[in-house]
Structure formats: C-alpha cells, structure tokens
C-alpha cells in the first residue's frame, strides 16, 4: 500500500513537469495547470503519509 501511494506521487510529479517548464517560460495557462498539479501532489503526498501511519498499526510482515 505504501509503495503504491508513493508510485502515484511520483507519477503526479512527473506529469507536472511539462506544465511547470512552460509556466517558467511565462505561459499563464500552464501556470494554472501547474498549480492544479501541485494540489494533486499535495493530495498524493498526504496519501503516502496516511499509508505510512496505517502501516505502523499493522504487525511487520515476515
């Protein structure tokens, strides 16, 4: 579960790259999309945090 959440986070960050590069170049629409991607990154990071906390409650796998 933790690794699945982490892989999702990496995918969201990767998807944001193109729009962030365009936003740096001054493209305002890309800036809006980049901010949306960053909100998705925030949500995905929260999922990773929650998965790690949930993993603490489970006994370790042998």
pLDDT digits (tens, 9 = 90+) for 5-61: 999 999 999 999 999 999 999 999 999 999 999 999 999 999 999 999 998 887 776
CA–CA distance, 33 with 30 (Å, rounded to integer): 5
Task: For residue 58, count other CB atoms closer than 10 A to its CB.
Answer: 8
Q: What is the pLDDT of residue 62?
A: 63
Which pLDDT score, from 0 to 100, does residue 40 have?
97
Residue among 4, 33, 39 nearest 17 (CA): 33
Q: Are 30 and 22 in contact (CB under 8 A)?
A: yes
Domain ranges of the chain: 2-57
Asked if 9 and 52 count as a contact pair (C-beta separation under 8 A), the reply is no
Please give the pLDDT value at position 24.
97
Answer for the pair 15, 44: CB distance below 8 angstroms, yes or no. no
């Amino acid at each position: 579960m933790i690794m699945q959440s982490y892989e999702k986070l990496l995918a969201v960050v990767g998807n944001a790259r193109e729009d962030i590069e365009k936003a740096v170049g001054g493209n305002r629409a890309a800036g809006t999309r980049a901010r949306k991607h960053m909100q998705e990154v925030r949500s995905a990071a929260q999922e990773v945090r929650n998965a790690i906390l949930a993993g603490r409650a489970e006994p370790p796998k042998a």
